[in-house]
């Protein structure tokens, strides 16, 4: 097909997406995509063997597209959706057609195999013409679609797997090898079915993951409940969710309390208790009571919708390994045809060998040359890996990121909210005036929104649960120091060490004790809040951000997994950073860093290792973007999904080691698959030297490689996911 030079790079209309049936193999799909991309406005077209979808500009000539697909036995099913509409509609009809098609192929292959077995039983008992007729029936039933596709390819000088098989089948029939030609046709049909089954299983697993989307919602309006499509929900709508029903979109509980299963979002198997005012995610399941929920996001903007959209897009991305295999396969098939031609003509012409023997060997080489198993080496493993990870609460935005995760050598962590809980807590208290301290501290801090003030109020409330603190008067913020206020007619101050200047140093013994306590608490890495009046220090609180319960164990597991460097980056002061780093068990740390200095540290690490950055996806965006791989935490937050390459949906580090193990396993399996495919083909080709290669050995080597590649790729889906 000639290339149209008038081929704009950017379509002027939105993309449209079509389901496609009849994609016979990954290599053929790649070749059809390249042909479609040669059409006007088709340069950005994508045809995916994994998701069986064609995405292209509405300006492309669809008649020519359908002709390209038809030449390879594929066809469009129907217009699915506007690419920008986030439509995840029901594809059940499409799946049903595909299922029926596979069932028909199975029956045809079974009948063909029966006829082939009959030839063995009846051999010598019936005339040769009838025996040949049985062979022909078996060949037609099992190989007619491949033959016509290959014949069409030959007419258009297009060389792919179908072309190779058509030439091999025709040649075998011409030289009278009916038995082997029939076996080749049947085994090749079985091989195609195995390919379809393997990718279908991986695809179904992904589709099962995407089936979490609720279809309807119970809208509560004027005291009446009406069933409406979730697409019609708007921000502010009130919906009712009964026990066992799915929450339609992200929102806040307006009334009620219940245990909510958030496995669809976070991968966490245990339900989470939710009450009035708590946030809930679309796709979560209300496990117990009745909930009235105020919708905060339209469905297309909800966490579940974004996850589904990202998972679907992830299937389409190609890793460097896949791109290399595609390029290799593009030149590999024509090269095999040249080798086969040389094997056919060189021995007879130069060495006087019999023509029939080397024609037979050349036909066998054509079958060995099918690149199916090689092209299939990566997609099944990648889709299985991304599906398993998503099912486990780890959202990986594409195969390229999964492959990169398996190569990571160093991981940099933000401290606050990543290694630590991100919520300061009182770790130590030293009280010199018990009678007044709690009353004054509670009064001054209860109206403040500062995180440290909230931590102080929580601590004091726990210590004096029944206390009611008087309101403080004339409350004033002292920039860089703390606050000042009047409680029951006396002025008090709370804040850092600068507050001590407010105390008249008339009690040196008391102040010496205070200074010793302050020095000790600072050496322990605590942030100090001191409460004083004009003559005395009432007490000192030492606060710190507690390390997450799982952090130490996660860091240990990462080191065991082969991560050579774990580095903590923080803006906190040296003493606090040193203590947290020691408690967490990281290899090294850098303290007192500004955001731009974090980026510099990531660049420095990246010059030595493949480095990933783990943060909360909000204030760590520059560092996440700078690292070879950005990993964000946070149950589906918009910033995490937009910034990072990988999102840990549970908002903690517990799943990070399993994600790395999964990625490395996927990379190993892809390596094994490529090795198995090439090794089996190389062994088969070497058999041509002594003239031992036969058609059935050739097809079995290709089918054996396909079976092993498929089974290894699907093995990733097996096993129990960790909670």
pLDDT at 567: 96
H/E element holding 478?
A: strand 473-478
DSSP three-state, residue 235: coil
Say if residue 54's pLDDT is above 70.
yes
Between CA 662 and CA 537 the distance in angstroms is 56
Above 60 in pLDDT, residue 458? yes
Q: For residue 597, what are the contacts with CB-CB under 8 A and spacing of at least 6? A: 590
| pLDDT(80) > 70 | no
pLDDT > 70: percent of the chain:
84
HEC string for 41-81: CCCCCEEECCCCEEEEECCCCHHHHHHHHHHCCCEECCCCE
Least confident segment among 49-63, 334-348, 451-465, 683-697: 683-697
Categorize the per-residue pLDDT at 618 as very low, low, confident or very high, splitting at 50, 70 and 90: low
* pLDDT band at 315; cut points 50, 70, 90: low
DSSP 236: T
Highest mean pLDDT out of 174-183, 332-341, 365-374, 538-547: 538-547
Query: By the 8 A CB rule, do 130 and 121 touch?
Result: no
- C-beta of residue 45 within 8 angstroms of C-beta of residue 56: yes
User: What is the four-CA torsion angle of 29, 30, 32, 35, rounded to 10 degrees?
Assistant: 170
- pLDDT at residue 138 tops 70: yes
Average pLDDT over residues 228-247: 88
133's enclosing H/E stretch is: helix 128-155
- The whole-angstrom separation of Cα 573 and Cα 591 is 6
Give me the pLDDT at residue 664, please: 94
The DSSP call for residue 195 is H
Residue 588: the pLDDT is 94
From the list 356, 371, 338, the residue with the least C-alpha distance to 691 is 356
* C-alpha to C-alpha distances, 657 to 143, 272, 394, nearest whole angstrom: 47, 23, 11
Asked whether residue 512 carries a pLDDT value surpassing 70, the answer given is: yes
Q: Is the pLDDT of residue 82 over 90?
A: no
What is the percentage of the chain residues whose pLDDT exceeds 90? Answer: 15
Q: Is 552 exposed, middle or buried (0-12, 13-18, 19+ CB in 10 A)?
A: middle
> How does the average pLDDT of the chain come out, rounded?
80
Residue 2 has pLDDT above 60, yes or no: no
* 565 beta partners: 410
Please, how many CA atoms are within 13 Å of residue 304, restricted to the half-sphere of its CB?
A: 30
Q: Distances from the Cα of 427 to the Cαs of 147, 444, 531, 546, in angstroms?
A: 77, 20, 16, 9
User: What is the per-residue pLDDT across 518-564, written as a single tens digit (0 to 9) for each?
Assistant: 989 888 878 889 999 988 899 999 988 888 889 999 999 999 999 99
Tokens describing residue 571: 């803006």
pLDDT at 5 exceeding the cut of 50: no
Residue 414 known to be catalytic = yes
Residue-level pLDDT at 581: 92
β-pair partners for 531: 494, 539
C-alpha span between 655 and 392 (Å, rounded)? 8
Q: Token digits for 17? A: 């997406």
Q: 722 Cβ partners below 8 Å, 6+ apart? A: 392, 655, 658
Largest CA distance in the chain: 124
Lowest mean pLDDT among 432-436, 557-561, 642-646: 642-646
Query: Residue 573: which pLDDT band, with cuts at 50, 70 and 90?
Result: confident
d(CA 247, CA 238): 12
pLDDT band at 85 (very low <50, low <70, confident <90, very high): very low
263 has pLDDT over 50:
yes
Tell me the mean pLDDT in the region 496-504.
82
Is the pLDDT higher at 349 or at 161? Answer: 349
**Which tokens hold the place of 608?**
């030595």
pLDDT at 612: 94
Beta strands in 205-364 (DSSP E): 216-221, 224-229, 238-241, 251-255, 258-261, 272-274, 279-280, 285-286, 291-295
> In the prediction, which pLDDT does 534 show?
86
Catalytic residue, chosen from 414, 572, 620, 651, is 414
Q: State the average pLDDT over residues 594-602.
A: 84
Q: Is the dihedral of CA 37, 42, 45, 47 positive or negative?
A: negative
pLDDT of residue 74: 82
pLDDT computed for residue 556 by the predictor? 95
Q: How many CA atoms lie within 13 A of 143 on its CB side?
A: 27
C-alpha 264/C-alpha 632 separation (Å) is 18
Res. 413 pLDDT band, cuts 50 70 90: very high
């Amino acid at each position: 097909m000639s290339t149209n030079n008038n081929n704009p790079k950017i379509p002027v209309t939105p993309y449209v997406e079509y389901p496609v049936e009849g994609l016979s193999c990954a290599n053929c799909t790649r070749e059809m995509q390249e042909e479609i991309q040669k059409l006007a406005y088709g340069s950005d077209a994508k045809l995916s063997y994994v998701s069986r979808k064609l995405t292209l500009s509405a300006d492309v000539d669809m008649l020519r597209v359908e002709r390209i697909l038809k030449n390879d036995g594929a066809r469009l099913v129907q217009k699915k959706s506007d690419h920008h509409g986030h439509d995840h509609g029901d594809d059940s009809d499409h799946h049903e057609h595909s299922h029926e098609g596979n069932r028909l192929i199975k029956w045809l292959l079974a009948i063909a195999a029966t006829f082939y077995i009959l030839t063995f039983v009846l051999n010598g008992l019936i005339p040769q013409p009838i025996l040949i007729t049985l062979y022909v029936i078996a060949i037609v039933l099992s190989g007619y679609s491949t033959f016509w596709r290959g014949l069409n390819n030959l007419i258009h000088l297009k060389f792919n797997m179908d072309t190779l098989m058509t030439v091999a089948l025709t040649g075998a029939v011409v030289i009278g090898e009916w038995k082997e030609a029939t076996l080749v046709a049947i085994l090749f049909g079985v091989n195609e079915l195995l390919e379809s089954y393997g990718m279908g299983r991986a695809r179904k697993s992904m589709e099962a993951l995407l089936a979490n989307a609720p279809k309807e919602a119970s809208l509560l309006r004027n005291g009446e409940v009406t069933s409406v499509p979730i697409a019609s929900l708007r921000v502010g709508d009130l919906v009712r969710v009964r026990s066992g029903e799915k929450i339609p979109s992200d929102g806040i509980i307006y009334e009620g309390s219940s245990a909510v299963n958030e496995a669809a979002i976070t991968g966490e198997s245990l339900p989470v208790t939710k009450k009035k005012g708590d946030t809930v995610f679309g796709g979560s399941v209300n496990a117990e009571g009745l909930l009235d929920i105020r919708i905060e996001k339209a469905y297309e903007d909800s966490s579940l919708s974004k996850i589904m959209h990202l998972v679907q897009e992830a299937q389409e991305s190609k890793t460097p390994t896949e791109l290399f295999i595609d390029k290799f396969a593009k030149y590999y098939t024509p090269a095999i045809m040249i080798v086969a031609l040389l094997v056919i003509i060189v021995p007879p012409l130069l060495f006087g060998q019999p023509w029939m023997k080397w024609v037979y060997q050349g036909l066998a080489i054509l079958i060995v040359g099918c690149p199916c198993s090689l092209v299939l080496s990566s997609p099944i493993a990648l889709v299985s890996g991304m599906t398993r990870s998503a099912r486990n609460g780890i959202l990986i935005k594409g195969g390229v990121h999964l492959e990169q995760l398996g190569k990571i050598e160093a991981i940099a962590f933000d401290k606050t909210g990543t290694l630590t809980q991100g919520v300061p807590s009182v770790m130590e208290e030293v009280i010199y005036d018990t009678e007044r301290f709690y009353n004054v501290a509670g009064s001054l801090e209860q109206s403040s929104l500062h995180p440290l003030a909230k931590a102080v109020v929580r601590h004091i409330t726990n210590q004096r649960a029944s206390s009611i603190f008087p309101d403080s008067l004339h409350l004033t913020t002292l920039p860089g120091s703390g606050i000042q206020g009047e409680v029951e007619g006396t002025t008090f101050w709370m804040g850092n060490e600068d507050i001590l200047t407010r105390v008249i140093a008339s009690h040196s013994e008391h102040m010496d004790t205070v200074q010793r306590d302050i020095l000790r608490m600072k050496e322990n890495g605590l942030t100090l809040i001191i409460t004083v009046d004009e003559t005395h220090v009432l007490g000192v609180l030492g606060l710190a951000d507690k390390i997450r319960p799982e952090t130490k164990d996660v860091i240990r597991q990462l080191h065991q997994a082969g991560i050579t460097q774990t580095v903590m980056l923080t803006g906190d002061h040296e003493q606090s950073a040193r203590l947290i780093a020691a408690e967490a068990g990281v290899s090294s740390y850098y303290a007192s860093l500004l955001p731009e200095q974090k980026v510099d540290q990531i660049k420095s690490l990246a010059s030595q290792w493949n480095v990933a950055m783990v943060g909360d996806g909000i204030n760590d965006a520059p560092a996440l973007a700078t690292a070879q791989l950005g990993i964000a935490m946070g149950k589906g937050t918009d910033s995490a999904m937009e910034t990072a390459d990988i999102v840990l949906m549970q908002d903690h580090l517990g799943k990070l080691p399993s994600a790395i193990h999964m990625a490395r396993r996927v990379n190993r399996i892809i390596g094994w698959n490529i090795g198995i495919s090439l090794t089996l083909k190389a062994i088969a080709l070497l058999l041509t030297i002594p003239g031992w290669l036969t058609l059935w050995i050739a097809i079995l080597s290709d089918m054996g490689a396909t079976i092993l590649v498929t089974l290894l790729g699907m093995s990733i889906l097996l096993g129990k996911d960790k909670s």
